[in-house]
Structure 1
Amino acid sequence: MQPQTKPQAKSQAKTQAQSQIRTFANFRSEFLDNERELFVYLPPGYDAPGREGERYPALYMHDGQHAFRADDRGGSWEARETADRLIAEGKIRPLIIVAVANVASARIAEYMHPVPGLGEVYGAAGRGDLYERFLIEEVKPFIDREYRTLPGPEDTGVLGSSAGGLVSYNLGFRRPDVFGLVGALCPFFVKPDPTQETEQWLTRIYRHKPPIRLWIDVGDAEGFTVMDKHVRTVVKAMLDAGFAPGRDLAYHFVPGSGHSQKDWAARLHAPLLFLFGRVGNVADSALLGPDKVGLNGADAVFHPIDMYDTGFVATNLAASFRVADPSVLSVLQDGTVVPHREGATEVAYTNAAGRTSVRAVTVVRELAERVKVTLRVVVPPDTPDEETIYAGIELPRIGPYAYGGTYMLPRDFAVEFRISRGMGRDEADESGRPAPFRLLRAQENLVAEYRVAGWIDRVRV
C-alpha cells in the first residue's frame, strides 16, 4: 500500500557539504487513516559529485517532530547536531535518519501493540500492529525509493523513547527481518498505580533471541513513568535468551536523568555509536549503588558504569565484583546485592582498563521498602481552579492555592519534573520562561515545599 499522492519535500539544505533536513507534509497512512509529517536527515555530502552510488543505513525515529527541533510540546533530541558531529569525527557511518512525527491524539494507541488489559488502562485498544504496517509497508518503501538506502535489516534501525521505546522494542522482536538495529530509550513497559500498588504491563516480555542488536536504557529520576526494575526485568530475559552484553545488547542506567527530550538528547550519541559505529575502549568507570542494604526489605543493585574514549557510556552487565568481607554480602554479575549478615564492607569493581571503583556499604537488619514523604505546592492566586496538579506525582488540592499530601514512596524513588497542571500547562519562572526542572529524591520523613511563580499555558481550550 502506498501514499495516495507523493508528498513534496521541503529542503533545509545550505550546501552540498552540510547535512540536510527534508520535510514531507501530510504523509498519509491508509492503515491508520491519518496523516503526519516525515523529516528526513541526509548526511553531509549526500548530494556531492562523485558520491551518487553511495548507499546509507537508515534509522527510523518515533516522535519525529522532536528529533531535530523543539516545539510548544517539548524540546529537541538535537539529532542533526549529534549525527553531524559523530560522522565528522569518524565514529559512526554516515546514515539517513527518518523522523516520523506522531499524531498527538493517537500516539499512545499507535505505539502500543495489543495486550490483555490495555483497553482498561487507556480506554482504547493498542494499534501498534497497524503502526508497524504503516512503517514497514508505507514509510520504508517510500524512503527506499526516494533515497539511496541500504534496505536490509542489518542496516535498518528503529529508535524511540518512552512509548516510542516500547514500540521500538516490539518492532525489533516482532520484525527482525526489517529492523535489525533497535534503540529503546526509557521504554514505557509498565503503567503503575502507586495508590493501589498495582502494575499493568503494556507489552509481552520476549524470551527468544532474534538477530538484532539492541540498546536499552533507563534514567534514575523518571519517577513512576519508567522504573529501573521493569527495564531490568526485560534485560534479564534478554540475557537468559542468549544476548551477549557489549556485542548485541547494551544497557545503561543513567544517573541524574529524567524523562524528557533534554535527557534523551544528552545521550543520543551512545545508541548511535553502539548501533552504527564503534564504541571504542573503556577509559574510566564509576560504581553507583546503595550505602545501606537490609537483610529484609528493598532489593539493592550496584551499577558499574563504563565511560569509553569515544564518548560511549554503558552499564556493564557482565561485571566482576570483589567484596572485602564476603560473609557480609555478595554481588551477582548483574549487580544484584545478596546480603548475608549485618555488618560493613566494601564493594570494588575493576573495569577492562584496570581501574577500580570502590563503595562502602552497610548491611542492617531491616530497611523499609517505602519512606514517608510530605509534599506541598503553593500556586499563584490567578491559577485556574484545578482538583489536582503534578509535581512528579499527582497532588490533590489541600487548601486555597495549595496542593500536597503525605505519601509512602519507594526508597529509591527519584523524579525530575516541572510542576504542571497537565500536558502543556507547566510552571514558569519569574520572567515567564519555562521554569528549571526540579529533582525529588525520596528520603525518610522528607518534607518539601515548592512555590510556583507563574504558568505557561500552551493549551487553548
Structure 2
Amino acid sequence: MGSARLIEIKQYYSTILNNTRDMFVYLPASYDQEEHRRYPVLYMHDGQHVFFADHKGESWDVHQTVDRLVAEGKMQEIIVVAIAHVEDARIAEYMHANPDGHNVFNTANQGELYEQFLVQEVKPYMDREYRTLAGKEHTALMGSSAGGLVSYNIGFRQSETFGMIGALCPFFVSVEPNTMEARWLSRVYTEKKDLKIWIDVGDAEGFTVMEQHVRHVVDVLVQIGYEPGKDLMYYYAVGSGHSQKDWAARVQAPLLYFFGDIGKPVDVDLHGPDIIGIQGPKRALNPIVRFDSGFMMTDIHATYEVADSELLAVAADGTLAPRQSGQTSVTYVRQQLRASKDMAVVPYVSDTATVDIYVKVPDYTPRTDSLYAGIELPMIDEGLYGGRFEVPREMSFEFRISRGLGKHETDRNGHEVPYRQFTVTDGLELHYEVEHWVDLIVSKGDDNEA
C-alpha cells in the first residue's frame, strides 16, 4: 500500500462568489492502488489550517490524525477536502442572513452564496475529479468557530447533500463584554433533518464562544428529536480555548463518530461546580465519558444518584436543581462506570465576580488605546493596561495578550509563548508582563479568530 498524499489546488475560481481560493485534498494511502474503490469525503472550512500551520496560527494536522486512526483500524479511509477561506471575505462568507437583522461585523452576509459555492461548484468538482462516495451518508462538513456556525447552517439547509455535520465551538452569538448583550448570528433550527451532528465547546473561550449559547442549541436539538449518543454527540471540553491546537486535540472524536467505530466507554470524569446557589446562575454537571477508541463526549442523557435528595436534584441532562442548603455528593452511574463529586448547596451565589487584571508592556510598544488579555483592557498609563472588571462567575479565558489582529505577544527571541489561562473567582488579581510583540519582529497574522 502507498502512503497518503496531499494535493494543492491553487486559485480555484468561484463563479458564484467571484473570487479565488486554494483548496487542499488529502487522498488515502490506498487511493492509487485500488483504482476502482470510492471513498467517503470530509469537507472542511478554513482549509489553510487543516493540514498546515500558517501565519495565522497552528494546524489541525487532520492528515496525521486520520493516518493514525486508519492505521489503528478505528476508522475507514476517507478523502479530506480543505477549502481555504478568503482573508477579507471570511466572516461574510461564513454568516447566513442574520435572524434579527443585526449587522454585527459591518459586512454583507454571504453564507447563502458560500453554501451554493460548496453544493454547486466544489462538491461536483470533487465528485468529478476524484473517486468519491457522493451520497449524503458518506459526506461530512466540519469547521470551527464561524466555520462551525456555517457548517450548522448548511447542514440544516442542505441535508440532502451533507449527512454529517461537525460544529466545533460554533460562533452562534456575539457577546458585548461590557454589557453582556448577546446578539444571535444564526437562526436556531427546529425541524429535525436526517443528520449526524457533532457539536462541542471549550470551557476557556471567554466571550468568544460561550457554553450557554451552544448548550441552548444542543437542548433544542434534543427537543426536536435528536438522540444524544446516537445522531447527536455533544462535548464540553475542559481546559480548552479557541484555537487550532484545541480543535486538533479532539478532532479524532468527530472523525471516529462519522467514519469509524467509537468503541466502548471505559472511563468517566465528573466536572461541575463545587458550590451551587438556591438563588443564582443555573448550573449543570459535565460528565465526560472516554471510550477505548479515544472518542470522548459529554453524556447529556445520564443517570445520577444524590446522597441527600432533599438538598439537590439532578436532571438527566446534568442540570442542577438545588433545594436546601447543606453538603451532599452526586454520583454519575453508567453500567460499570461511576464518578462522584462533593457539592455544597448555599442560599445564594452571585452571577458575577470582580477580577483585577494589569498588563505591563515594553516601552517600545506602539501606542494603542487598549490590549486584549481575554478581556479588553484600556490603557491606564504609559506602558500599563488594565482595571477592575465584573465578569460572569467561573468563566474561563485562554489567550495570548495582543494589541489586535496579528499583534500578539512572544518571548524576547520571537518564539511563541504558552497560552495564558485564568478562571474568574472572587477577588482574583492578575499581573502580566509582555516581553515582546510578534509583529515587531516580522509581520504576521493573529491566531485567535472567530
TM bracket, shorter-chain basis: over 0.9
In structure 1, distance between residues paired with 2:19 and 2:208 = 28
Q: Which amino acid aligns with 1:276?
A: F
Contact 2:55 2:444 in 1 (8 A): no
Distance 1:460 1:280, change over 3 A: closer
Q: Which amino acid aligns with 2:311?
A: V
Structure 2 counterpart SS, 1:231:
helix
Q: Tell me which amino acid in the other structure corresponds to 1:277.
A: G
Deviations 1:350-407 (A, max 9, x none): 223x121110001111100000001000000010111111001111100010100111
CA distance in 2, matches of 1:433, 1:357: 41
State the AA in 1 paired with 2:72: E
- Following superposition, the deviation at residue 119 of structure 1 comes to 4.9
* Equivalent of 2:320 in 317, 337, 340: 337
For 1:128, the aligned partner's letter is G
Q: Paired residue for 1:433, among 415, 419, 423?
A: 415
1:159 matches 2:142: yes
Partner of 1:377: 359
Q: What TM-score comes out, normalization by structure 1 length?
A: 0.95
Could you tell me which amino acid in structure 1 is paired with residue 291 of structure 2?
Y
Q: Who is 1:122 aligned against?
A: 105
Contact 1:376–1:404, Cα closer than 8 Å, also in 2: yes
| Larger relative contact order, structure 1 or 2 (CA cutoff 8 Å, min sep 6) | 2
- The Cα shift of 1:445 comes to 1.1
Kindly report which structure 2 residues correspond to 1:441-460, keeping only aligned pairs within 5 A, or say none.
441-457=423-439, 459=443
Q: Are the structure 2 counterparts of residues 412 and 83 from structure 1 closer, same or farther at C-alpha, using a change threshold of 3 Å?
A: same
Partner of 1:62: 45
For 2:140, the aligned partner's letter is: G
1:25 matched residue in structure 2: 10
- Partner of 1:21, secondary structure, is strand
Look up the equivalent residue of 1:45 and give its one-letter code: S
Q: Tell me by how many angstroms 1:118 deviates.
A: 5.3
User: Which deviates further from its counterpart, 343-352 or 277-286?
Assistant: 343-352
Label 1:303 to 1:282 Cα distance change in 2 as closer, same or farther (>3 A): same
Amino acid at match of 2:149: L
Cα distance per residue 1:221-250 (max 9 Å; x no partner): 000111111111000000001101111000
- Per the alignment, residue 75 of structure 1 pairs with 58
In 2, Cα distance between the equivalents of 1:324 and 1:143? 56
* 1:357 and 2:339 are equivalent in the alignment: yes
| 2:90 equivalent to 1:107 | yes
Unaligned runs of 5+ in 2: 446-450
CA distance in 1, matches of 2:124, 2:103: 35
Structure 2 residue 258 is the aligned partner of structure 1 residue 275: yes
Q: Give 1:27's aligned amino acid.
A: Y
* 1:435, distance to aligned residue in structure 2 (A): 1.2
- Asked if 2 retains the 8 angstrom alpha-carbon contact of 1:223 and 1:415, the reply is yes
| Structure 1 counterpart SS, 2:51 | coil
Which residue of 378, 393, 398 maps to 2:380?
Answer: 398
Residue 415 of structure 1 is matched in structure 2 by 397
State how many pairs are aligned: 443
**Residues 102 and 183, structure 2, Cα contact 8 Å, conserved in 1:** no
Are 2:289 and 1:306 equivalent residues in the alignment?
yes
Aligned to 2:179: 196
| SS of equivalent to 2:104 | helix
Paired amino acid for 2:299: N
Cα distance in structure 2, aligned partners of 1:165 and 1:118: 21
Contact 2:99–2:184 (CA under 8 A) maintained in structure 1: no
Shift of 1:317: 1.2
Matched residue, 2:448: none
Structure 1 spans left out of the alignment, 5+ residues: 1-15
Length-normalised TM-score, structure 2: 0.97
Contact 2:438/2:444, CA 8 A, preserved across alignment:
no
**Identity, % of aligned positions:** 48
The offset of 1:117, in angstroms, is: 4.4
Q: Which amino acid aligns with 1:391?
A: A
Given the alignment of the two structures, is residue 388 of structure 1 paired with residue 370 of structure 2, yes or no? Answer: yes
Please give the root-mean-square deviation of Cα atoms over the aligned residues, in Å. 1.1
Aligned residue number for residue 47 of structure 1 = 32
Deviations 1:144-188 (A, max 9, x none): 001000001100000000000000001111110000011000100
Give the counterpart of 1:38 among 7, 11, 23: 23
Check the 8 A contact 1:374/1:405 in 2, yes or no: yes
Q: Secondary structure at the match of 1:321?
A: strand
Query: 1:12 — aligned with what?
Result: none
Given that 1:119 and 1:125 are in contact with CA atoms closer than 8 Å, whether structure 2 keeps it comes out as: no
- Select the residue among 64, 69, 93 that pairs with 1:86: 69
Which of structure 1's runs of 4+ aligned residues deviate more than 2 A? 116-120, 458-461
